[in-house]
Structure 1
Amino acid sequence: MNKPVSKSVQSAAAEALSRSKGEPKWLTRLRGNAAQAAEGLEWPKPDKIRLDRWALDARGRYLPADEMCDSEELPGSIRGLAPEDSASGLIVQRNSSVVLKRLSVELKSKGVILTDLETAAREHTEVLKTHLFSAVNWEENKLTALHAAWWNGGIFVYVPKHVELELPIQALLFSDDAEAAFAPHILIVADSHSRISYIDHVVSEPGDGLPPAIHQSIVEVIVKPGARVQFASIHHLADNVVDLTLRRAIVEQGGRIEWIIGDLSDGNVFSDTRSSLHGSGSTSDAKVISIGAGSQQLSLTTQAVHFGKRTDSQMVTRAVMKERGTAIINGVTKIEKGASKANGEQTEKVLMLSPKARGDANPILLIDEDDVTAGHAASVGKVSPEQIYYLMSRGIQREEAERLVVQGFLAPIVSGIPAQSVRERLKRLLETKLQSGTQSSEGQLR
């Protein structure tokens, strides 16, 4: 006769936290089981980077913040990031909880849902139970299990069938207390033949001498048949914060996911973005941009897994490395047996601005089907002397010439951001990081 397995202290604590939030029993059980499983799982093992040597114990504790009536109540160093063109909807998470939610009357009348994930667990139980951790297996490793046990706040977006949003939903997620847990879970469900653009900005309070902290986030995007989702995200966390982010999309027949990712944090970064193309004719387009400086370690992985016939994936990653920064860029195209007529293309490029900077670009093609097309390109190098010479011959000073070359290198990603205000903010952030390395200030956040 098997003896029942006793709950660990962490499992009991996770269940107690869930009950204190009034979450449904199925979610309480999930949190408890995940906390229990995490104790026996290992951290992910990305190529050439040891996550277990990072400050991964600095997860903080659940500290909910007071709700706000308006973005004017945000801290001064963060206030400038609140989008001015958020006519569709805006949601703000501060540390461990969502503090502001706003959705247009028109979208509410069409059945669009924008709320925090904790509220969705109580008020939209069935749709949440169906899709939460459907794109991510929480038992995959220690990172996913810990997140399943301790996520907080979070964002839930649901777009009904045939509803098309003309303007993007925007989100601001920020940490200004290193002692508070900062682990949002973002879940977007785009029902059949709907369309949505979503933009978020993930930041932390700048400052010297702050204790270590972790931003641990999982994104799940469910793209139903014929739906279109554009997901744009800019991360700019201070150098005391380890940024651990997994992004996953399941794309059904004729659906499309577009990722536009700016991994621009000042601390160590583990970023893994994957599209699973299950439906025939489904497509994925992923663009990732990053700048590393100081002694940063960046692990940036982009993946596309083809299951359906006539699926198409495009992946472009561009990173600029300064000083002693290290970047490991992985592009993975996997075409499963039966995914005939699939096409997968990927490009990884690393531009190094310092002799001590390091960059690896690793294109990986895994093909289990004959009737497909796939290709890759990868390069690691310095700024072209010929380009600099050409610009200087036109009367441009060397420093300005180098800046223009780098801007041109990054431009294909920047131009894809769907909101002009966010594009301009990203340009300013890129300029600041290129000029000053890892130094942060209030002005940079704005």
Structure 2
Amino acid sequence: MSTQITTPINRSSAEALSKNKQEPEWLTALRAEAAEAAETLEWPKPEKMRIDRWELGALGQYKQNDAISSSDQLPESVRGLVPAEASANLLVQRNSSVVLKQLAAELQSKGVIFTDLETAARDHAELVQKYLFTAIRKDENKLTALHAALWNGGVFIYVPKNVEVELPLQALLFSDDAEATFAPHILLIADNHSRVTYVDHVVSAFEAETGPSIHQAMVEVFVKAGAQVQFASVHHMADSVIDMTIRRAVVENDGRMEWVIGDLHDGNILSDTLTILNGSGSTSDAKVISIGGASQKMSLTTQAVHVGRSTESTMVTRAVMKDQATAIINGITKIEKGATKANGEQTEKVLMLSPKARGDANPILLIDEDDVKAGHAASVGQVNAEQIYYLMSRGISKQDAERLIIHGFLAPVVSEIPIESVREQLQKLLERKLGS
């Protein structure tokens, strides 16, 4: 099935798309309202980055791919990204639709839901409608409105109270058709005292050079009281793809949210990850790794908002910049009035490999309460010449010495990836992007 999407999207085309997919009326109305809002809203304005100059009109068209029965039927170019241990709990989106979804019978018996969001909107409408576009408002800006109108496929996860999912739930989200709309939406709900790890790979697999396209994705995570969520995501797509990803988590009393983000995409990037610590005793930890090359432009923002009492947040970003790439890295810690005993720490570090590359690290603390702790550290610099000299004096070549230093620089994030096979994939990507 192929449904043309006009550019820009409007109310009637959003309604037609929704009805064509036989979605519930409430979702059709949501899409229509979002499309109408998108006509008047402006694009986000991240610090020091003019994303309105990017090719943002390449929305593509909705294309539904045929379902498959196992990962063995995936194209060879992406098949290797599915580790053997993921076969029991795996979801695959190809272009605009989910083509494979598997969940172990044991988890199904415990009430765990792991399916595509389009199916969940029909089969679990009450649950989806309660949370969808509440952490991210559909009318925040043109990007969120367009996404609300156009999202497709996607991932829905629900973990019931007191259920601990031992094995990670994994997703492969890939595009091999630059003319297809690629806009997954991920909605994850971890009920009271539950625990879950979710990992996804976002990739492109074009057979030849293509025109511009957009991956616009949004993530909403709800961590209920005492629950724990690990969310790991690795992005690596072609330089013709603009990667625009917004992530939001809302954490209640004594809940914990952990992010591990590998922004290793080759094209322009807008990445914004925010954790809202609503509940007392709630905590968050966000680790971001990125490598920029060629003339790539990246806006990477990590945020924590403290609302509840005795909340803690940690944010660490490591970026390596080469060639003529530009990265604007923002860390924002916001402590609201009444969030006593809050503690927010952040670190942004940029390693420059080229005199023409640009990396800005901007730590921001916004404090509206007295009885709190908050700190930040930021640095931008070249590879340390003394370290290289020391390694070379031990018989290591200059190229290998630089590589060792870079890997050591990135290690605090890489080591936090919760699955060994994903860490291995990340190491391969690091080697590729660093030109080793």
Please indicate the TM-score interval, normalised by the length of the shorter structure.
over 0.9
Summarize the alignment of residues 371-382 of structure 1 with structure 2, pairs less than 5 Å apart.
371-382=371-382
* Alignment of structure 1 residues 364-403 onto 2, 5 Å: 364-403=364-403
Q: Deviations over 1:312-368 (max 9, x none)?
A: 000000000010000000000000000000000000000010111100000000000
CA contact (8 A) 1:88 1:107 kept: no
Report how far residue 83 of structure 1 moved.
2.3
Aligned to 1:329: 329
Q: Which amino acid aligns with 1:33?
A: E
Unmatched segments (≥5 aa) in structure 1: 1-7, 437-446
Does the 8 Å CA contact 2:71/2:87 hold for their aligned counterparts? no
Q: CA deviation at 1:85?
A: 1.1
Partner residue, 1:303: 303
Displacement of 1:417 in angstroms is 0.7
Deviation of 1:386 after TM superposition, in Å, equals 1.1
Instruction: Name 1:12's counterpart in structure 2.
Output: 12
Q: Once the two structures are superposed, what CA deviation does each residue of 1:42-92 show, in whole Å capped at 9, x if it has no partner?
A: 000011111111010011010010000011111111111122111551000
What's 1:363 paired with? 363
Letter of the aligned partner of 1:94 in structure 2? Answer: R
- 1:267-299, Cα deviation, whole Å (9 max, x unpaired): 000000000000000000000000000000010
CA contact (8 A) 1:113 1:157 kept: yes
Mean CA deviation greater in 165-174 or 208-217: 208-217
- Name 1:92's counterpart in structure 2: 92
Q: How does 1:16-415 map to 2 (within 5 A)?
A: 16-86=16-86, 88-206=88-206, 208-415=208-415
The answer to whether the 8 Å contact 1:87/1:167 transfers is no
**1:9, distance to aligned residue in structure 2 (A):** 7.4
Match of 2:3 in 1: none
Alpha-carbon distance in structure 2 between the residues aligned to 1:76 and 1:374 = 48
2:178–2:206: 8 Å Cα contact kept in structure 1?
no
- Counterpart residue type for residue 42 of structure 2: E
Write the distance in 2 (CA, Å) between the matches of 1:346 and 1:182: 32
Q: By how many angstroms is 1:209 displaced?
A: 2.7
CA shift, 1:124, in A, is 0.2
3-state secondary structure, aligned to 2:421:
helix
Distance of 1:373 and 1:387 partners within structure 2: 34
- Distance in 1 of aligned mates of 2:203 and 2:283: 30
Q: Secondary structure at the match of 2:62?
A: coil
> Matched residue of 2:434: which SS?
helix
AA of the residue aligned to 1:365: L
The secondary structure found in structure 1 opposite 2:425 is helix
Number of aligned pairs? 429
CA RMSD after TM alignment: 1.0
Looking at structure 2, the residues matched to 348 and 84 of structure 1 have their Cα atoms a distance apart, in angstroms, of 35
Instruction: Quote the offset at 1:252 in angstroms.
Output: 0.4
Counterpart-to-counterpart distance in 2, 1:411 and 1:428: 14
For residues 228 and 208 of structure 1, what CA distance do their matches in structure 2 show? 42
Q: TM-score, normalised by structure 1?
A: 0.95
Asked if structure 2 preserves the Cα contact closer than 8 Å seen for 1:47 and 1:328, the reply is yes
Q: Percent identity?
A: 68
Counterpart residue number, 1:427: 427
Tell me how far apart the structure 1 counterparts of residues 87 and 106 of structure 2 sit (CA, whole Å).
10
Letter in 2 for 1:268: N
Distance 2:84 2:277 in 1: 34
Q: Which runs of 4+ in 1 moved over 3 A?
A: none
